[in-house]
Amino acid sequence: MAAADTYPRKVDLDAKFGQFSDHWAPRIVARYNDNEIRLAKAEGDFQWHSHQDSDELFLIVSGTLTMEFRSHTEVLEQGQMIVVPRGTEHRPRALHGEVQMVIIDPKDTANTGDHATATKAVDL
């Protein structure tokens, strides 16, 4: 039988979002298959960037996220998601108040695409 700390446990997103208030600073709430499930709050603009080695998934929990690409813009509402293909320049923006989102990235992925300028994702 597995140890108690290895049993699957549910994650309460509302409770987790309530544990932090800073923006554009991802928090890791789960891991699977070398991926990190990250929560982030956003307000205002993030920088243009890309991830050369991996796709990136954004799932909007609350608010409205504008995702700019060099070719077009997508507006994401609560309950919507987008997968940004590897190597695609993008700029997430929260122009109408705070956004809460789930982001799925391979472990240790820099949120800016560059470890030198990234806000390191930390466990929550």
Least confident of 2-6, 67-71, 93-97: 2-6
pLDDT at residue number 46: 94
Q: How many CB atoms lie under 10 A from the CB of residue 119?
A: 14
- 6 φ/ψ angles, rounded to the nearest 5 degrees: -105, -5
Highest mean pLDDT among 2-11, 42-51, 111-120: 42-51
For the whole model, what pTM was predicted? 0.89
pLDDT at residue number 1: 45
Which DSSP symbol is given to 4?
G
Confidence of residue 97 (pLDDT cuts 50, 70, 90): very high
Going along the chain from its start, the domains and CATH numbers come out as: 20-111 (2.60.120.10)
Find the helix or strand (DSSP H, E) in which 13 lies: helix 13-17
pLDDT digits (tens, 9 = 90+) for 15-57: 999 999 999 999 999 999 999 999 999 999 999 999 999 999 9
> In the predicted model, is pLDDT for residue 2 greater than 80?
no
Residue burial 8-35, b: 16+ Cβ < 10 Å; e: rest: eeeeeeeebbeeeeeebbbbbbbeeeee
In the chain, the N- to C-terminal Cα span, in Å, equals 27
Q: How many CB atoms lie under 10 A from the CB of residue 94?
A: 21
> In the predicted model, is pLDDT for residue 4 greater than 60?
no
